């Protein structure tokens, strides 16, 4: 029988965030993955995107880091992502990725990728208010902004090619 401490350390805790400078505009995503005392940090970005796309991408990329099925707790400040998964996605899928108004679901490509990644794991969700001092959320926000910086720096300093 596992102790409570052993069970809680066998869960991967993921904090995610997205950022966008302009909406649309250059964007970034960031995530931390914690398993026991190990922490992995990831980030990336896109030159022309939206905040919602970056929020979704953060979760997708974090889940892609997991090499086997896991118990996962995702902590996000995005109600769009959390409610999308917990409240809306099952209806969208039943309606062939259409909203209740019959319109195509925005960001369908990412929702389908997220659905695939979620299917590999047992996932619980926690929403936190952004920019309120939650350490995991603040770090994910910093990483998302690093993602934006990586895009804006590469755009302002193009690589020389021969």
Residue 28 known to be catalytic: no
4 or 108: which leads in pLDDT: 108
**Cβ contacts of 77 within 8 Å, gap of 6 or more:** 17, 127, 128, 129, 130, 131, 137, 141
Catalytic residue (choose from 18, 44, 45, 147): 18
The reported pLDDT for the residue numbered 81 is 98
Among this protein's residues, is 131 annotated catalytic? Answer: yes
Q: Is 96 helix (H, G, I), strand (E, B) or coil?
A: coil
Domains of the chain, by residue range, sit at 4-153
Q: Does the annotation count 109 as an active-site position?
A: no
Task: Note if 115 is an active site residue.
Answer: no
pLDDT value of position 75: 98
Tell me the per-residue pLDDT of 78-133, one tens digit each, with 9 for 90 and over: 999 999 999 999 999 999 999 999 999 999 999 999 999 999 999 999 999 988 88
The yes-or-no answer on residue 44 being catalytic is: no
Residue 156 pLDDT greater than 80, yes or no: no
Helix then strand count (H, E) for the chain reads: 6, 5
Q: Which residue has the higher pLDDT, 161 or 77?
A: 77
37-74 confidence digits (pLDDT tens): 999 999 999 999 999 999 999 999 999 999 999 999 99
Catalytic site residue from 15, 55, 61, 84: 55
Give me the catalytic one of 77, 113, 117, 147. Answer: 77
What is 4-153's CATH topology?
A: Nucleotidyltransferase; domain 5 (3.30.420)
37 is catalytic: no
pTM, full prediction: 0.89
């Amino acid at each position: 029988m596992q102790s409570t401490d052993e069970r809680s350390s066998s869960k991967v805790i993921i904090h995610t965030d997205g950022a966008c400078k302009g909406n649309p505009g250059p964007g970034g995503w960031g995530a931390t993955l914690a398993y026991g005392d190990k922490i992995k940090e990831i980030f990336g970005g896109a030159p022309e995107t939206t905040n919602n796309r970056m929020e979704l991408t953060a979760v997708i990329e974090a889940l892609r880091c997991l090499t086997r099925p896991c118990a996962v707790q995702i902590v996000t400040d995005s109600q769009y992502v959390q409610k999308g998964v917990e409240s809306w996605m099952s209806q969208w899928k039943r309606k062939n990725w259409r909203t209740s108004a019959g319109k195509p679901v925005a960001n369908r490509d990412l929702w389908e990728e997220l659905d695939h990644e979620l299917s590999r794991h047992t996932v619980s969700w926690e929403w936190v208010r952004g920019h309120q001092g939650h350490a995991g959320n603040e770090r994910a926000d910093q990483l998302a902004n690093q993602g934006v910086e990586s895009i804006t720096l590469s755009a302002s300093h193009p690589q020389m090619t021969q």
